[in-house]
């Protein structure tokens, strides 16, 4: 299946929720896509086909919906899975980075021993909006010495400019709005 056709199939399953979580925001709900086993498999396959031959050591998944795609991708690729979690959720020594959301502030953490210097990683999340969450995760990976091969998203909201915050990391998204 061609990428454009596959992307269109996935996009048709994304539900728009206006004014969530705040007035003026259109939330892109991926629940219908995840509820359809064939579409979830298709999304996972598009990611895994992209990274199958790139010698990836680990997938870094961003809290919380990034865990869905990150765990499936790590399983298929046979790599480790590293969690970028909201502050206070990881039990061991961590490194932290704070960031602005499109509607607030937050802090992410990764275990301080999760990434070895030079380890080749793909960072994955469900949506790229303003880029704050992913920039914080990229900063954490670099702080630990990881080599970011690419940052990957199911959805990229191109009008919000999040990609500009992620330079110089290469970006891949399956669906764009």
* Residues annotated as catalytic (active site), given as ranges: 65, 102
CB 133 within 8 A of CB 112: no
Nearest in space to 62 (alpha carbons), one of 151, 167, 160, 149: 151
Place of tokens 């969450």: 133
- Largest alpha-carbon pair distance within the chain? 44
CA distance 145 to 134: 16
DSSP H stretches of helix in 78-148: 132-143
């Amino acid at each position: 299946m061609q990428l454009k056709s596959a992307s269109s199939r996935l996009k048709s399953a994304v539900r728009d929720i206006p004014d969530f979580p705040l007035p003026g925001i259109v939330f892109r709900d991926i629940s219908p896509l995840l509820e359809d086993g064939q579409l979830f498999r298709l999304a996972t396959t598009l990611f895994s086909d992209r990274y199958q031959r790139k010698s990836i050591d680990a997938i870094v998944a961003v809290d919380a919906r990034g865990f869905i795609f990150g765990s499936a991708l790590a399983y298929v690729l046979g790599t480790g899975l590293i969690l970028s979690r909201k502050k206070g959720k990881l039990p061991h020594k961590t490194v932290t980075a704070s960031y602005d959301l499109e509607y607030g502030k937050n802090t992410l953490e990764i275990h301080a021993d999760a990434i070895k210097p030079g380890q080749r990683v793909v960072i994955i999340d469900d949506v790229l909006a303003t880029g704050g969450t992913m920039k914080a995760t990229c900063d954490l990976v670099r702080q630990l010495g990881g080599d970011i091969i690419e940052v990957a998203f199911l959805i990229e909201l191109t009008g919000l400019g999040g990609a500009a915050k992620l330079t110089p990391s290469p970006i891949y998204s399956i669906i764009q709005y």
